[in-house]
Structure 1
Amino acid sequence: MATADLRRGYILGLSAYVIWGLFPMYFKAIQAVPSLEIIVHRAIWSALFGALLLLVWKHPGWLRELIDHPKRFAVLALSGSLIAANWLIYVWAVNNGRMLEASLGYYINPLVNVLLGMLLLGERLRRLQWAAVVLAAAGVAQQLWQVGSLPWVSLALALTFASYGLIRKKAPVAALPGLVVETWLLLPLAIGWILFHPAAMSSQPAFWTTSEALWLMAAGPVTLIPLVCFNAAARHLPFATLGFLQYIAPTLVLLLAVLVYGEHFDPAKLISFLLIWAGLAVYSVDTWLTLRKRPARA
């Protein structure tokens, strides 16, 4: 792979994960707006901005392909519901002092992917993958034992996002058109919610003269720009490199939670994180070893 392509891939990949890692700062800026209302606007502005992107970056034939395979609309409706649920849980966590749990959820996510592959796709886990899953489960169990409750925010984020990825595999639609269609399918619900909630902040004409209105309108670019960067990076970087870069986002969220927003990182949480980090280290080693064993392409 050419050095210029690798450099471009690193820049795009780092851009995507850094933006995702700094998401909490964006949602904190609109903390006065209820979480559900933020998601409603995220769907609306993502749909509009996504349509604009599709005009700029043409994806020939994607709409015809969807029309020829109408079942894919149903799959995208389901995946859109899952990603909307993921967005809602994440925004709620950020704006309710649960950023550490959100960070933990995205650290867990690769291991949940492995587990779902075994349970739903019949994939066989290698020994190191089993070890990684067991370590992550121990981290969750430690939270239950020490705190007395499951880290439901972490588990819900990991499960919804892993399920979203799994379902999107069943709908062979390119990433950007797929996400745009998902937001289009959410659009009637989002507009209906605003129309039938006259007390909502964004239903008041005066709201649209405030800075929060501009922040809400920015939800479209904020949602889609890192996705575009990620998909471009995926074309220039090896899979293993992308796998390591994915830990940048939850690490930034963790640092923001503790250093900027003052969330308490107590010993019980530290032990959970250490167990899950150990699981991720084992998982990364397994991925690296597996890729090394593959024959080089001619």
Structure 2
Amino acid sequence: MKKGIIYGFLAYLSWGLLPLYWRLFDTMPAGEILAHRILWSFVFVAVLVTAAKRWKSLISVVKERKNRLAVLLCSIFISCNWLIFIWAVNSGNVIETSLGYYMNPLISVVFAVVFLKEKLRVGQWAAIIIAGIGVLLMAIQYGHVPWIAIVLAVSFALYGLAKKVAQLDVLLGLTWETMIVVPIAMIYITFIHADGSAAVFSLSGGSMVLLLLSGAFTALPLFWFARAAERLPLSMVGFIQYIAPTTSLLLAIFVFDEAFTEGQLVSFSFIWFALIIYTFVSFRKSKASSQLGEAA
């Protein structure tokens, strides 16, 4: 349990601090940063697979058609999520990224109901409706739909759904996800270097080293999350995950000096209230299931 909490804390704190990391490369276009992130993530996981001698297992992962489709979808959804997140951070929209990851658990619940036929309690439905009101209020305040938050929440929820359906090993799954898109990333990097538009050479030596380490910074939180999920009840993992968007929100306000208006506070309050209701109802449901299991 203690190790699980530590792993969960490390994973979500790392994700929450990512805006600080991507801001180091704000002179680079989001597409170029994404291409390097994909490339160095693949290099990092390939080294791990080689060290673990699991290349043969990698082939067996995609023998089933369902797994091949799931891996392809995972690769598309996580690449889209990474691109929008990097662009949003470097264009001064960290608050909206925070909103997206507050919304993500509730979007995941909706997908679980629609695609996996899971059933919700009245309190969980109430939480989703309240969160929807919060998003609607923010849309009215902005004068447009908060599309960054919605795309981040939906893309990561779809990524989680595809992972759930396939139930792939964390390391092998991430290897396939990066391996599918790494040819596209390499073609893009080659093209921008050929036409002289690559911005990577404008980085300092230290920043360039940090860019090369983006693979490790991408993969390690995923491994920590997997270890936490193995050791902790799902309700506790769900509670710990709010460390990430809370950290990002605090960075946006106190480090990046983004304006946090009264209207945004009202909208976020609806989201926070919805998450409190959902977490409370889910915790009671988990506790009741555990008691039934012990009685059985």
> What's the TM-score bracket when you normalise by the shorter of the two chains?
over 0.9
Deviations 1:40-87 (A, max 9, x none): 000000000011122334558632422532552332122101100000
Aligned length: 291
For residue 170 of structure 1, report the CA deviation from its aligned partner.
2.5
1:237 alignment partner in structure 2: 232
> Is the 1:62–1:173 contact (alpha carbons within 8 Å) kept by the matching residues of 2?
no
1:221 alignment partner in structure 2: 216
**2: CA distance, partners of 1:292 / 1:61:** 40
Is 1:103 the counterpart of 2:98? The answer is: yes
Which moved further from structure 2: 171-180 or 94-103?
Answer: 171-180
2:116 alignment partner in structure 1: 121
1:62 alignment partner, one of 19, 38, 57: 57
User: What SS class does the counterpart of residue 65 from structure 1 fall into?
Assistant: helix
**1: CA distance, partners of 2:62 / 2:287:** 41
2:127 alignment partner in structure 1: 132
> Is the 2:13–2:243 contact (alpha carbons within 8 Å) kept by the matching residues of 1?
yes
**2: CA distance, partners of 1:107 / 1:58:** 38
Q: Which runs of 4+ in 1 moved over 6 A?
A: none
1:174 alignment partner in structure 2: 169
For residue 123 of structure 1, report the CA deviation from its aligned partner.
2.7
The gaps in structure 1 that reach 5 residues or longer are: 1-5
**2: CA distance, partners of 1:208 / 1:139:** 40
> Is the 2:16–2:245 contact (alpha carbons within 8 Å) kept by the matching residues of 1?
yes
| Paired AA for residue 29 in structure 2 | P
2:261 alignment partner, one of 257, 262, 266: 266
> Is the 1:37–1:200 contact (alpha carbons within 8 Å) kept by the matching residues of 2?
no
2:198 alignment partner in structure 1: 201
The gaps in structure 2 that reach 5 residues or longer are: none
**Normalised TM-score (structure 1):** 0.92
**Aligned-residue CA RMSD (Å):** 1.8
1:86 alignment partner, one of 77, 81, 92: 81
> Is the 2:16–2:247 contact (alpha carbons within 8 Å) kept by the matching residues of 1?
yes
1:296 alignment partner in structure 2: 293
**2: CA distance, partners of 1:221 / 1:290:** 36
**1: CA distance, partners of 2:198 / 2:206:** 13
> Is the 2:25–2:203 contact (alpha carbons within 8 Å) kept by the matching residues of 1?
no
**2: CA distance, partners of 1:107 / 1:130:** 16
**1: CA distance, partners of 2:204 / 2:135:** 45
Alignment CA distance shift 1:57-1:236 (3 Å)? farther
> Is the 2:71–2:176 contact (alpha carbons within 8 Å) kept by the matching residues of 1?
yes
Alignment CA distance shift 1:24-1:279 (3 Å)? same
> Is the 2:88–2:94 contact (alpha carbons within 8 Å) kept by the matching residues of 1?
yes
**2: CA distance, partners of 1:149 / 1:225:** 36
**1: CA distance, partners of 2:39 / 2:98:** 26
